Amino acid sequence: MSPNLNQADLDQPLESTPRQVAATLELFLAEVGTRAFRFAEAGLRSRDDALDAVQEAMMKMLGYRQRPAEEWTPLFWSILRRKIVDIQRRGNFRLRFFAPPNERSEDSLADWADSAAGPSRSHDQREAYSRLTVALRTLPARQREAFTLRVLEELDVADTARAMGCSEGSVKTHLSRARGALQKQMEDFR
């Protein structure tokens, strides 16, 4: 038995204290942070705007800490999606992201490659990610959201529909169209 626990502690009912809930929510946010940033960056085409959107979404999630943990995933993605739409509506796009891909700086690519991979594999992974990011940016917003949430985030159809604020049928339609468009764009890369 742990030196910090005594029999009285073990006899207490298992209830979450506010501190435990906060720690659990913090772990959830830490786990989803990188993926949320990539999702926001693909939608906003700006690292700064993506960081702002993710930070605002995380701050808003703190107000929902008392909600059951199984609701956090669709709720967070729904909040983040709304933040992205808000930023897009305010016109905060950076014109430098409309430049041709060869004129963009290398720092716009996320450093996601496996550090244990060899140089050739790392290069291939970065190139594949870069092509996927460019291809995702050409999709309409709803198709990009459906693809990112269903395929990259692996949410089920119901959670994706809740996050996107649409029906499950719409999610399936958007996903099907996104897959078709991406498949056409990525054929030459195979």
Q: What is the CATH number of the domain that holds 85?
A: 1.10.1740
Question: How far does Cα 152 stand from its chain's mean position?
Answer: 8
pLDDT at 166: 94
Is the pLDDT confidence value at 41 over 70? yes
pLDDT at 108: 41
Percent of the chain predicted with pLDDT > 70: 68
Is the pLDDT confidence value at 160 over 70? yes
Amino acid of residue 55: Q
Count structural domains, the chain.
2
Q: Residue 22's pLDDT band (boundaries 50, 70, 90)?
A: low
In angstroms, the CA 83 to CA 52 distance is 9
Residue 21, exposed/middle/buried by CB under 10 A (0-12, 13-18, 19+)? middle
CB atoms within 10 A of CB 170: 15
Is the pLDDT confidence value at 3 over 50? no
- Is residue 10 assigned to a domain? no
Q: Which domain holds residue 145?
A: 117-190
Span 108-145, pLDDT tens digits: 444 333 445 566 666 777 787 788 888 888 999 999 99
Q: Are 109 and 123 in contact (CB under 8 A)?
A: no
